[in-house]
Amino acid sequence: MNMKTTEFTQEKIHTILSAQRKYFRTGETLDVKWRMAQLRRLRQAVIANREILEKALYEDLGKSPSEAYLCDIGPVIVEINEILRGLKRWARPERHFSGLMCFPSILTTVYKMPYGVSLIISPFNFPVLLTLGVLAASISGGNTAVIKASSKSAASTRALQKIISETFPEEYVTLIDGGHDVADMCLAERFDKIFYTGSPAVAKHVLEAASHHLTSVALELGGETGNWCVIRADADLKDAARKIAFIKLCNAGQICINVNQIAVAKEVAEDFLAELKKEFVRQIGENPEQNPEYPKLITQAAYDKCAKLTEEYSDRVIFGGTGDRETLRFAPTIIYPVNKQEEIARHELFCPLLPIIPFEDGEIDRLAETIADREHPLAMYVFTSDMKWAKRFMSTQQYGGGCINEVCIHMMVKGVPFNGTGHSGMGAYHGEWGFREFTHPQTVLKGSTHFNLPLREHPYSDKAGDRKKSFLKLFEK
């Protein structure tokens, strides 16, 4: 199968969806061993096509083979392995004692049922991980899947389309490409589950479309006002700079859990900035826009947006600020000082720009109020040696996930959920949480045909009613 964008009409998408719904109703996807076999096929396909995926990621985003494997390909294999280890246990029906109120029907079972036909809308920034990682969760739940991959990461979409078509029949899993028009065609259909990764603005459109069919939706979003990193005066500045430089260089800042703006205590701001500059140079060199290992921005429009914003703050660019429009590489750029109320500190940047907001360390509570007043971020990072404060701060703010004295690797922890809340998402996935996201718990009570008491039946009045009420009160315990 080698479809082109122009082949995807509303009729074609409806035909694919109808075939998948028919296939789902055969019941084949309900068998857990069968699902595990499909996951192994997917894992083997990823391993066999690793070089193809690496080349595609370099073509789309300028990722070196090592970064492509570290951030996009390897985590898919890890995710599949985790699912394979736990799926039999997660999918096992739960047995519950029904309680005295239900006597003599004492056994109730909760089945973990797939939704049916799922729609996965994946983004450009991690096109392999955020397509196949979500697909693995969908498969684990027993669903079929239609994948709408990003048209911006065209090479990766072509590679994924090849892998999917060679691995699975179209009536089980199929990947389509195209722009927003094709996505809208998908959203016009009645799917049973939608998983969208992208921006809050588009997520509102997805939710609105899903509401027409009352379709269950999971959203993984970057957060409208960006992810905060707070550096207290007592932080290990060299350690913080090293880790922040790594995450800001990764994928040229095009990461939903990236550091968007840094609030650093004034008392140590100059020292921190000196360390951060040194780390950028150490990790990527003095001319990153000429370094073939440094990723690029996805499109010329993304590059121009980054360059324009840099120009607006040119009087406060203290590091970087240069780029190459031909290669779409833009240097990591530090902008300092920035007021927390300025526009650049109030929205997700999704590029290598890094506004630095100084604050008085003694007024950390005021900064915390500002962060809490804005839309919930997908990630939150703090650097400090005061663990008591850090734990209080991290347990009272609202965000998707985060780290104390670290960045980003919370999403790599096995057995824990990943996603945001509000403008940074809804639902959760990874491992068992992904299985839960793509299944519906179905409660079934097994009734008894013997020893049934007339407690629930009329009459409810006079002495008969009083006796029934007395018995029912006993059952409350």
Known catalytic residues are 220, 256
What's the order of all strands across the beta sheet hosting 333-335? Answer: 317-319, 333-335, 353-359, 261-265, 228-231, 379-383, 401-404
Tokens standing for residue 311: 């120009």
Tokens standing for residue 75: 């985590």
Strand (E) or helix (H) holding 59? helix 50-61
Residue recorded with tokens 């009352």: 214
Q: CB of 353 within 8 A of CB of 344?
A: yes
Strand (E) or helix (H) holding 27? none
Tokens standing for residue 140: 């684990």
Tokens standing for residue 434: 């992904």
Residue recorded with tokens 């993304």: 302
Task: Please count the CA atoms within 13 angstroms of the CA of 275 that sit on its side-chain side.
Answer: 18
Q: CB of 61 within 8 A of CB of 295?
A: yes
Strands 216-221 and 193-198: parallel
Q: CB of 298 within 8 A of CB of 153?
A: yes
In DSSP notation, 129-194 reads HHHHHHHHHHHHHT-EEEEE--SSSHHHHHHHHHHHHHHS-TTTEEEE---HHHHHHHHTS--SEE
Which of 7, 34, 257 shows the shortest CA–CA distance to 129?
A: 257
Beta bridge partners, 429, equal: 418
